[in-house]
Amino acid sequence: MIGAMSTLPTAARTAPTPAAIAQALGRRVLGQTEAVREMAVALAKHLGGVHTGNILLIGSSGTGKTTLMRAVESFLEADPGTAARSTVVRFHAKVLAEATEEGRPGEVVLRRLLERAREKLGAEAPLEALLERVSGGLVFVDEVDKIRSHVGDELHAAGIRAQEALLTLIENESVPFELPEWAGGGVVPIDSSGILFVAAGAFEGLYDSVFDRVTIGRDKGALQAVTVVEGGEVREELQFHLRDWLRYDDLFEYGMSPQFLARFDAVVLLADLGVEELTRIFVEGADSSLETAREYFASQGLELAISPAAVRRIAREAARQPRLGARALKEVFRRVIRDYEFDPSKVAAPGGALLIDEPEVEKVLGGGGPGGAGQGKRALRR
């Protein structure tokens, strides 16, 4: 049996602090303090060779789940010390479901970890060292909601199998693993209980089903309207926050099996992005479309400048499309910028500067755009 962490020398256990990890992750993932902290603590434990519970991240589309996973990968790669100690793989849950159909449940994960370990330690590394890395790996399962066991009343066989496949790996002290040919073939038992699993999904529709449960469904009346006084006006408002009402049962009903969910110690909700966060993501985000536009205009000999008021107007417009999360910024900004991309002379000053201010943005967005219809009954979505 290959031990998970027990054979790591003590020196290798000195791990970065959660605060340092959170700071690094926070450079890529803006806002989402809770998710970043949760991930930082889990990573600190994992890198320190201490057992840590698996994490399930739930958050609307475009709120930073995949960004967070990528941030962890870059964090681990950035420092040669941690890079040498960590073996990370990221899967799209659908790929796991497909691999499961080919009849090798779970093995695809182990095989990828083994390959990753070989990349890190080199082709000459002894098999025992590689297998130790496998049993202490970090596995991201993205879009885990795509392996739900049913969609509506229809069973989703591939989803059921994929959840079962993961079940065989999570917290299992002896998983038979058929080694690939390059590793000599044969079956070895793997202790996978030290593998840290982080799964993430948008769980589209979960918000609405929980909202319905506490307003018109089984728990009708649980969510009470509150009286809000604003600008001298008094009105009744339903203030619904998923985190206050989400129960494991809601996730079972969504199609995640109780056994599968039981393997996740923490369910972490990512917040929907508000105007403040969207503003920051637009200006400071690692792959912000503003930055890309700056590069484009620079290549045309123009310096792009955008006023804070224009930025805020764009962020406000993006916030009207919560289903897209930060991706709405790209959509909104594209509408604003496309004419200037073709003909910058409209706003270009003689010195080669191109200034976009609020009126220019307003001119394009004034009509309201695709988000203009508002958010209907979910106006207080958070």
Residues of this chain that interact with ligand ATP (CB under 6 A) are 29-32, 59, 61-67, 202, 281, 285-287, 325-327
Of 191 and 277, the one with the shorter C-beta distance to Mg ion is 277
CA-based torsion, 132, 134, 140, 141: positive or negative: negative
67 binds, among Mg ion, ligand ATP, none (CB under 5 to 8 A by kind): ligand ATP
> Residue 186 CB, nearest distance to Mg ion (Å)?
37
> Residue 369 CB, nearest distance to ligand ATP (Å)?
18
> Residue 205 CB, nearest distance to ligand ATP (Å)?
13
263 binds, among ligand ATP, Mg ion, none (CB under 5 to 8 A by kind): none
Of 286 and 355, the one with the shorter C-beta distance to ligand ATP is 286
* Total interface residues for Mg ion by CB under 5 A: 2
Closest CA to 7 of 124, 109, 135: 135
Helix/strand/coil (H, E, C) string of 97-162? Answer: HHHHHCCCCCHHHHHHHHHHHHHHHCCCCCHHHHHHHHHCCEEEEECHHHHCCEECCEECHHHHHH
The residues near 132 (Cβ < 8 Å, ≥ 6 apart) are 2, 3, 4, 7
> Residue 33 CB, nearest distance to ligand ATP (Å)?
10
> Residue 247 CB, nearest distance to ligand ATP (Å)?
21
Token pair belonging to 114: 């083994």
62 binds, among ligand ATP, Mg ion, none (CB under 5 to 8 A by kind): ligand ATP
Token pair belonging to 228: 């809000």
285 binds, among Mg ion, ligand ATP, none (CB under 5 to 8 A by kind): ligand ATP
Site for Mg ion in 251-290 (CB under 5 A): none
CB 39 within 8 A of CB 55: yes
> Residue 245 CB, nearest distance to ligand ATP (Å)?
21
Closest CA to 53 of 36, 41, 65: 41
> Residue 80 CB, nearest distance to ligand ATP (Å)?
26
Of 326 and 348, the one with the shorter C-beta distance to ligand ATP is 326
16 binds, among ligand ATP, Mg ion, none (CB under 5 to 8 A by kind): none
Amino acid identity of residue 254, one-letter, is: Y
> Residue 269 CB, nearest distance to Mg ion (Å)?
15
Q: Is 164 exposed, middle or buried (0-12, 13-18, 19+ CB in 10 A)?
A: middle
276 binds, among Mg ion, ligand ATP, none (CB under 5 to 8 A by kind): none
20 binds, among ligand ATP, Mg ion, none (CB under 5 to 8 A by kind): none
The residues near 35 (Cβ < 8 Å, ≥ 6 apart) are 29, 57, 59, 64, 68, 268, 269, 270
Task: Tell me the three state secondary structure of residue 186.
Answer: coil
Q: Give the single-character DSSP code of 273.
A: P
Of 97 and 223, the one with the shorter C-beta distance to ligand ATP is 97
Residues in the chain: 382
35 binds, among Mg ion, ligand ATP, none (CB under 5 to 8 A by kind): none
Of 47 and 270, the one with the shorter C-beta distance to Mg ion is 270
**CA distance linking residue 153 with residue 162, whole number of Å:** 19
Of 92 and 335, the one with the shorter C-beta distance to ligand ATP is 92
66 binds Mg ion (CB under 5 A): yes
Of 215 and 279, the one with the shorter C-beta distance to ligand ATP is 279
Of 44 and 281, the one with the shorter C-beta distance to Mg ion is 281
Task: Tell me the three state secondary structure of residue 88.
Answer: strand
61 binds, among Mg ion, ligand ATP, none (CB under 5 to 8 A by kind): ligand ATP
The 8 Å CB, 24+ separation contacts for 18-21 are 18/43, 18/44, 21/75
> Residue 90 CB, nearest distance to ligand ATP (Å)?
11
Of 118 and 146, the one with the shorter C-beta distance to Mg ion is 146
Point out the residue whose Cβ comes nearest to ligand ATP: 64
Phi, psi of 179 (to 5 degrees): -70, 145
**CA distance linking residue 260 with residue 85, whole number of Å:** 28
Alpha helices in 177-319 (DSSP H): 206-215, 242-245, 248-254, 258-262, 275-284, 289-299, 308-319
Would you tell me which residues interact with Mg ion (CB under 5 A)? 65-66
